[in-house]
Amino acid sequence: MQIIFTGKHLDVTPSLREYAETKLSKLSRFFDHVQEAHVTESITRGQHIVEVTLKVDGTLIRAEERTSDMYTSLDQVVDKLEGQLRRYKERFITRTQEALGGQKPTELVAAATATPAEEEEPLPEIVRTKRFAVKPMGPEEAAMEMELIGHDFFVFRNSESNEVNVIYRRRDGNYGLIEPL
């Protein structure tokens, strides 16, 4: 696994880099399909922030943690990623078995992906489908619509690019815009 380090408002020290490499190498032993890890370490308002984005079979898995200590942030983000990889691996095994024609019983999948001390987490399922007209508008108008309906995201057709976009509320209170490539 290739690991790329980026520091925002701080220099990534060799000891911090070595600690991160040790922690992240455990993830590749847990699930060997991890090709790349991008680690961004920063300090904002006294908080040590660690963001890790993993590239796994063309899929991106991301986690972020904020604490008062960089090493604690790194430990917690690796724990989050381990849980996400466990769920991804469970789905990966299930899909592979279904593609081969036979479904693997859920007990075997859980046994292959979970440690004995952990309980199986139920997979989320789609419980409701909504259909609505996607009208052309600018990102600012979409943000206003999102505020009016009280949601954390809003799907709209961008009047400038004529593509479907998503605007969402970020944890810092600002907005993010997702545009297709």
Residue pLDDT, tens place only, 132-175: 778 899 999 998 888 877 788 999 999 999 999 999 999 888 99
- For the entire predicted model, the pTM comes to 0.56
25 and 96 housed in the same domain: yes
Residue pLDDT, tens place only, 103-118: 554 544 554 555 544 5
- Beta carbons within 8 Å of 104's beta carbon, 6+ residues apart: 93, 94, 97
Check if the beta carbon of residue 143 is closer than 8 Å to that of residue 150. Answer: no
CATH code for the domain in which residue 158 is found: 3.30.505.50
Distance CA 122, CA 134 (A): 32
Range of the domain at 59: 2-113
Flag whether pLDDT at 37 surpasses 60. yes
33 and 105 housed in the same domain: yes
**Closest by Cα among 72, 94, 55, 62 to 20:** 72
